[in-house]
């Protein structure tokens, strides 16, 4: 087995690797590092969680150890699709370059321009940025990219999904043509293939796993949920999620719950907290400081359940995530691979559950086609249980009025409840007690309207009580059976 010491890395970098507890490179690192040290362009294709970040940080530190940066002119550039991924790359540089005197700057949204400008003005060896914030600094005249010697594009397929490809092409036009380009992606869409053919020169292609495959250490399962009513779908899905978490018990030390929409992230997080779970949301609309606090809490264990949108599907490197729950099936099949890739990292075992409702079945089929594997189905954990009461309204919300079918009867029970509890033999009794319908040929007698005063005379002179319930059969009042002539005579 190859060791890091055999890859011609800087001795100070090897010392940092040893202190971090690593001895042997992963397959993508073993293939990419030697080619990068030779100065070749690299096209790396590997599933998430395989160590792609170290594949470019280690050779970059070794190469940049010689030389010095000038003001506003970074020597290398790393482009990342999200703030979280950019922060992860910055942490990797801090870990592996602690014995090498290199400077870096992190350009991401949610941070003051003034602070970032101050770092750039001093000169940085490594500039880590999201495309939008990088172009903002460039257009303000605070950044010059003519001295970039190494350019890295990380998670290129995510860049495509987020609409950053035009920005990437523009940035490629701003850096020198003689640069070295390191290009990494988990999948290779047609648009990504076009960019690599345009901007990479005879790259060393390292593909260590079939495109869009999930790690074999991840146990996958799908729960199909058929909601009782359309307007109850989200509520019943949240209940299924809670049952899945409870069923895992202590094995679920921490987990990430992925939702497709930011609004669902907030709703699911609030619902879990209401039921006593330690949960916190993270998505693109939150302040960067809040997102950082939430991620730090998830890493140190003070937050057990992280409810996230796909902004956290990439760039969230927490090695010990035990479970991933897909509250929604992702709209893009590739996102499924990145979501479940947050667990089972670095050879560890993990579990990934996906909740599938009828409207998501087509997207779920696309996921199975992409990974070329049938995901095992498991039984709905709440299917055999009694219906659970509706979730309590949020604070300050007016209580909902019960539907007509749920209003209490005079005996104090709901009509739906009474119908559900009525035994079959009672139904047969009612059927037996029902009056026989008249024969089709017979015509019912036409009851005539009583004359005024009849009721008064009957109450005084009749021996039979007429206080029974007015109706037919045994409870029919006598005056109805009298003919008109008999009534006149009386």
**342 vs 144 pLDDT, higher one:** 144
Q: Per-domain residue ranges for the chain?
A: 4-207, 218-378, 454-489
Dihedral-angle region of residue 86 (phi above 0 means left; psi in -120 to 50 means alpha; beta otherwise): alpha
Provide the percentage of residues in the chain whose pLDDT is more than 70. Answer: 75
**93 vs 70 pLDDT, higher one:** 93
Alpha-carbon distance of 252 to 137, in angstroms, equals: 43
Instruction: Give CA separation, 477 vs 14, 326, 456, 461, 468, in Å.
Output: 105, 68, 14, 14, 8
**Given this model, what pLDDT does residue 51 score?**
83
Task: Please say whether the beta carbons of 360 and 224 come within 8 A.
Answer: no
Structure tokens given for 480 = 């109805």
The 10s digit of each residue's pLDDT in 11-35 is 999 999 999 988 899 899 999 999 9
Bridge partner residues of 180 (DSSP): 150
Alpha-carbon distance of 182 to 14, in angstroms, equals: 21
Domains 4-207 and 218-378 share a fold: yes
Residue by residue, what is the 3-state secondary structure of 65-120? CCCCCECCECCEEEECCCHHHHHHHHHHHHHHCCCCCCCEEEECCCCCHHHHHHHH
Domain boundaries 218-378, corresponding CATH code: 3.40.50.300
Structure tokens given for 114 = 């003034």
pLDDT of 363 strictly over 80: yes
Q: What mean pLDDT, rounded, does the chain reach?
A: 80
The 10s digit of each residue's pLDDT in 389-443 is 444 444 444 444 444 444 444 444 444 444 444 444 444 344 344 444 444 444 4
Task: Please say whether the beta carbons of 42 and 201 come within 8 A.
Answer: no
**Given this model, what pLDDT does residue 421 score?**
42
Alpha-carbon distance of 379 to 362, in angstroms, equals: 20
pLDDT of 285 strictly over 90: no
The 10s digit of each residue's pLDDT in 116-142 is 999 899 899 999 999 999 999 999 999
**Confidence band of 480 (pLDDT split at 50, 70, 90):** low
Alpha-carbon distance of 385 to 151, in angstroms, equals: 56
Task: Please say whether the beta carbons of 105 and 119 come within 8 A.
Answer: yes
Domain boundaries 4-207, corresponding CATH code: 3.40.50.300
Q: Which of 2, 37, 43 is nearest to 211 (CA)?
A: 43
pTM for the whole structure: 0.63
The 10s digit of each residue's pLDDT in 49-84 is 678 899 999 999 999 988 888 888 999 999 998 888
Q: What is the mean pLDDT of residues 294-322?
A: 82
């Amino acid at each position: 087995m190859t060791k890091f010491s055999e890859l011609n890395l800087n001795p100070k970098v090897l010392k940092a690797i040893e202190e971090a507890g690593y001895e042997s490179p992963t397959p993508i690192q073993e293939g990419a590092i030697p080619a990068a040290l030779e100065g070749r362009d690299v096209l790396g294709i590997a599933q998430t969680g395989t160590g792609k970040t170290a594949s470019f940080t280690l050779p970059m530190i070794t190469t940049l150890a010689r030389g010095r940066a000038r003001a506003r002119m970074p020597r290398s550039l790393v482009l990342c699709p999200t703030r979280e991924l950019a922060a992860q790359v910055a942490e990797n540089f801090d870990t592996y370059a602690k014995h090498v005197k290199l400077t870096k700057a992190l350009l991401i949204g949610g941070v003051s321009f003034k602070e970032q400008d101050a770092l750039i003005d001093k000169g940085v060896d490594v500039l880590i940025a999201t495309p939008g914030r990088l172009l903002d600094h460039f257009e303000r005249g605070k950044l010059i990219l003519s001295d970039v010697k190494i350019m890295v594009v990380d998670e290129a397929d995510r860049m495509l999904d987020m609409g950053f490809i035009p920005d990437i092409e523009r940035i490629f036009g701003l850096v020198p043509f003689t640069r070295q380009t390191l290009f990494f992606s988990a999948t290779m869409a047609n648009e990504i293939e076009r960019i690599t053919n345009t901007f990479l020169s005879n790259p060393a292609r390292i593909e260590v796993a079939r495109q869009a495959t999930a790690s074999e250490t991840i146990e996958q399962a799908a729960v199909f949920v058929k909601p009782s009513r359309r307007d109850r779908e989200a509520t019943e899905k949240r209940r299924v999620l809670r049952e899945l978490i409870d069923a895992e018990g202590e094995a679920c030390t921490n987990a990430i719950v992925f939702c497709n929409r930011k609004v669902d992230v907030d709703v699911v997080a609030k619902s879990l907290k209401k039921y006593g779970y330690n949960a916190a949301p993270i998505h693109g609309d939150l302040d960067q400081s809040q997102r950082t606090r939430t991620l730090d809490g998830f890493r140190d264990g003070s937050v057990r359940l992280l409810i996230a949108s796909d902004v956290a599907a990439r760039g969230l490197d927490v090695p010990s995530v035990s479970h991933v729950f897909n509250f929604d099936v992702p709209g893009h099949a590739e996102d499924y691979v990145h979501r479940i890739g947050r667990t089972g990292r670095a050879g560890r075992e993990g579990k990934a559950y996906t909740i599938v409702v009828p409207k998501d079945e087509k997207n779920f089929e696309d996921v199975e086609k992409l990974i070329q594997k049938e995901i095992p189905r498991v039984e709905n954990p709440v299917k055999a249980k009694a219906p659970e009461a509706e979730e309590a309204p949020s604070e300050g919300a007016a209580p909902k009025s019960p539907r007509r079918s749920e209003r209490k009867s005079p005996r104090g029970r709901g009509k739906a409840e009474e119908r559900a509890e009525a035994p079959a033999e009672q139904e047969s009794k009612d059927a037996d007690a029902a009056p026989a319908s008249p024969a089709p040929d017979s015509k019912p007698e036409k009851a005539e309207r009583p004359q005024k005063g009849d009721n008064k005379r009957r109450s005084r002179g009749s021996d039979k009580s007429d206080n029974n319930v007015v109706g037919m059969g045994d409870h029919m009042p006598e005056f109805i059976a009298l003919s008109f002539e008999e009534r006149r005579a009386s």
